[in-house]
């Protein structure tokens, strides 16, 4: 498929927006649309637009089309036991938080959902947390009076909490007993037990996951990346003339602190949207060597390398090379803000927002002003700590019809049966992050 087709739709330069006012609804709406999901044709952002509003838009005639709603949500430390308790109707903090998370997702009604920090069952190697949470979302859809939608789940192993057997943080000790920060600091990705802080992808019917075509990059070594930003010593624990990690450590240490996934999703019209999912390590909790900041940078850079088809990339099945030509969307908590925070060399702007293969022109925002710890959050902040760290970034050629950050009822993309009181609990008691969503119109497969 050719990328960039929408950019040639109107031969202008500079800011460009396309509005489908009065456009027909799709002839075969999704089940959720039939129960009051609201109009999904407010605005369309063309790839080259820098500041898109409905007032700036041009009105054009267009054939009926189908939108795909994609959403990423870091649900802080979501555990299997809490999900199970929520499904049973237990009334405690963990169960209520899981229940509220599922209810909020049901209200947003995404076709494709990525959940970061969802526990993975390392012992069974089965997506138990994901499957159970999918059932909880269905339960909460019924609670809200929404039509039923089944969910397929993609949940593969994560490096979080898998012990390296080595002293990765160079503190002179190696703790093998799970359940502490000391254990997690020597894991391949920080986690206090195997499967901690993993992730899961949820795809609602009638869309389907093409599992046989999925690629994962859990085992790809950090040192295999050309010009990797491997940290030097801090001058205290490790001499500055040496690398922080020994050769033995580098032979074990993957690039991804969780995993990187390329998961193809078959849409209703038969086309494919590939979900590029990850959750890079926070660029903090280290020392002068900045080992986490450097790893965060390179985890984000991976997607730029992948999109350009870099041959050094090898997936967990041994297949080399980068992305296909299918439309794709990068999703997840990237732990990097384009204008603030502790990231090294602004990797999200350098590698993604300014990438000509991606459309970073549309910035999701909240309609609600929120004060947290004495400061008012920016409209584009996706977390309570005031930074934009969660992203949904389509490849160029897809059209962003609309999107946002859900901090309250005014931010919901659809008509909702939630009350103001319940929504406050849903948003502020669930996580330190907010859901980020986009409605996408994908390129015509025939273009």
Return d(Cα 95, Cα 277) in angstroms, integer.
Answer: 26
Neighbours of 144 (CB within 10 A): 14
Is the pLDDT reported for residue 291 higher than 90? Answer: yes
Return d(Cα 151, Cα 392) in angstroms, integer.
Answer: 20
End-to-end CA distance of the chain: 7
Q: Which helix (H) or strand (E) holds 277?
A: strand 272-277
Our measurement of the distance from residue 188's CA atom to the centroid of its chain's CA atoms, rounded to an integer in Å, reads: 21
Helix (H) and strand (E) counts in the chain: 8, 17
pLDDT band (50, 70, 90) for residue 416: low
Exposed/middle/buried for residue 5 (C-beta within 10 Å: 0-12, 13-18, 19+): middle
| pLDDT for 423 | 65
Using one digit for the tens of pLDDT, what is the confidence trace for 99-130?
Answer: 999 999 999 999 999 999 999 999 999 999 99
pTM over 0.75: yes
CA dist 369 to 94, 181, 211, 383, 425, Å?
Answer: 27, 35, 41, 13, 17
Q: Which helix (H) or strand (E) holds 143?
A: helix 128-143
Tokens 């870091």 map to which residue? 74
pLDDT band (50, 70, 90) for residue 56: very low
| pLDDT for 10 | 23
Range with lowest mean pLDDT among 88-92, 300-304, 368-372, 413-417: 413-417
Using one digit for the tens of pLDDT, what is the confidence trace for 171-229?
Answer: 999 999 999 999 999 999 999 999 999 999 999 999 999 999 999 999 999 999 999 99
Is the pLDDT reported for residue 314 higher than 70? Answer: yes
CA dist 101 to 160, 363, 399, Å?
Answer: 22, 23, 28
∠ CA 172-173-179 to the nearest 5 degrees? Answer: 145
Is the pLDDT reported for residue 424 higher than 70? Answer: no
For 97-136, the DSSP string reads HHHHHHHHHHHH--SEEEEEEE--BTTTTB-HHHHHHHHH
Return d(Cα 284, Cα 274) in angstroms, integer.
Answer: 30
The answer to whether 275 and 262 have CB atoms below 8 angstroms apart is: yes
The domain covering 5-441 belongs, at the CATH homologous superfamily level, to: Endonuclease/exonuclease/phosphatase (3.60.10.10)
| pLDDT for 44 | 36
């Amino acid at each position: 498929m050719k990328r960039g087709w929408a950019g040639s739709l109107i031969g202008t330069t500079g800011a460009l927006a396309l509005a489908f006012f009065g456009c027909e609804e799709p002839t075969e709406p999704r089940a959720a649309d039939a129960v009051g999901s609201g109009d999904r044709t407010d605005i369309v952002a063309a790839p080259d637009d820098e500041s898109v509003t409905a007032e700036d838009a041009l009105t054009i005639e267009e054939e009926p089309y189908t939108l795909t709603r994609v959403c990423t949500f870091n649900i802080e430390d979501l555990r299997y036991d809490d999900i199970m308790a929520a499904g049973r109707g237990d009334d405690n903090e963990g169960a209520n938080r899981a229940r509220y998370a599922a209810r909020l997702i049901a209200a947003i009604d995404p076709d494709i959902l990525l959940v970061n920090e969802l526990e993975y069952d390392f012992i069974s190697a089965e997506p138990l947390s994901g499957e159970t949470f999918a059932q909880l979302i269905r339960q909460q859809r019924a609670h809200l009076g929404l039509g039923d939608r089944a969910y397929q789940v993609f949940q593969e192993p994560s490096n979080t909490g898998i012990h390296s057997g080595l002293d990765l943080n160079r503190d002179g000790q190696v703790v093998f007993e799970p359940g502490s920060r000391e254990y997690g600091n020597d894991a391949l990705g920080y986690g206090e037990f195997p499967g901690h802080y993993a992730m899961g992808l949820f795809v609602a019917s009638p869309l389907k996951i093409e599992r046989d075509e999925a690629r994962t990059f859990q085992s790809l070594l950090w040192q295999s990346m050309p010009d990797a930003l491997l940290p030097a010593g801090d001058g205290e624990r490790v001499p500055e003339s040496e690398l922080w990690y020994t050769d033995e450590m580098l032979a074990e240490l993957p690039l991804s602190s969780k995993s990187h996934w390329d998961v193809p999703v078959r849409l209703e019209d038969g086309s494919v949207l590939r979900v590029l999912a990850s959750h890079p390590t926070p660029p903090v909790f280290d020392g002068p060597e900045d080992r986490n900041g450097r790893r965060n940078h390179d985890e984000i850079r991976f997607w730029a390398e992948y999109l350009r088809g870099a041959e050094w990339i090898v997936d967990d099945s041994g297949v080399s090379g980068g992305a296909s030509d299918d439309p794709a969307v990068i999703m997840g908590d990237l732990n990097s803000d384009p204008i603030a925070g502790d990231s090294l060399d602004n990797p999200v702007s350098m590698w993604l927002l300014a990438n000509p293969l991606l459309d970073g022109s549309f910035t999701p925002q909240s309609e609600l002003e929120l004060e947290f710890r004495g400061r008012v959050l920016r409209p584009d902040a996706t977390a309570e700590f005031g930074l934009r760290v969660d992203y949904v970034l389509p490849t160029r050629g897809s059209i962003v019809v609309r999107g946002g950050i859900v901090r309250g009822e005014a931010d919901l993309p659809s008509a909702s049966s939630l009350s103001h009181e319940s929504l406050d609990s849903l948003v502020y008691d669930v996580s330190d992050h907010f859901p980020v969503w986009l409605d996408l119109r994908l390129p015509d497969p025939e273009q």
